[in-house]
Amino acid sequence: MRKIYLKDAHTRQDPLRERYKVAPEEAQITDRGRTSWSLENDPFHGLVIPGSQDYGEKWGFGIHRAVGGDHDAPNPGDLLCSALASCLDSTIRIIADRLGITLTFLEVAVEADIDVRGTLVVDKTVPVGFQNMRCQVEIKTAKETDPDLTKKLLTAAEYSCVNLQTLRSGVMVEIGYSLS
């Protein structure tokens, strides 16, 4: 059964905020995801296992038809867009709760554009990677909500969204290999 939490961001976060002021090392966390070899001899499908604990979740992924896949499952770009959408959505909801704003509707849609000639090495002048991303937030608040407070919410959410800020500023990615 899913737990329902109503208006308890202060209760959950304030003790953490106070704790991290005196023990900043405890604020350091590591998120994880990994893949699992799942479909022999099929380079166009796989399984991703989110998180560091066993949530019992494995998500199938497929490769986009633009690079030879069947696009019969979410592709890695879809997962990246979904990660951004879920992070921005939850950040908005948490901050709305902290500000006492009642949301009546929230949907975050993310799209990302890529020219796959780069990844297929068709044209070496085309960069590998998404050239741009767009987030569209549709939000409705209770009628009595001050518009300035809603603006404050959205500004704070953009500032606090981990995935959004990571994508905007970039991050060093190290790769290690274990060869057998």
Quote the pLDDT of residue 7.
Answer: 60
- Would you say residue 40 has pLDDT above 70? no
What secondary structure does DSSP assign to 72-92, as a single string? -S--HHHHHHHHHHHHHHHHH
- Would you say residue 169 has pLDDT above 80? yes
Rounded to an integer, the average pLDDT of 23-31 is: 92
- Would you say residue 164 has pLDDT above 90? yes
Query: Mean pLDDT of all residues in the chain?
Result: 91
pLDDT level of residue 1 (50, 70, 90 thresholds) = very low
Tens digits of per-residue pLDDT, 63-98? 999 999 998 999 999 999 999 999 999 999 999 999
- Would you say residue 2 has pLDDT above 70? no
Report residue 173 CA to chain centroid gap. Answer: 17
CB atoms within 10 A of CB 19: 12
Rounded to an integer, the average pLDDT of 143-165 is: 97
Rounded to an integer, the average pLDDT of 15-30 is: 93
Quote the pLDDT of residue 66.
Answer: 95
- Would you say residue 39 has pLDDT above 60? no
Distance CA 36, CA 74 (A): 16
3-class secondary structure per residue, 27-71? HCCCCCEEEECCCCCCCCEEEEEECCCCCCCCEEEECCHHHCCCC
- Would you say residue 162 has pLDDT above 80? yes
Distance CA 22, CA 149 (A): 30
Report residue 110 CA to chain centroid gap. Answer: 10
Domains of the chain in sequence order: 31-74 (no CATH), 76-169 (3.30.300.20)
pLDDT level of residue 37 (50, 70, 90 thresholds) = confident
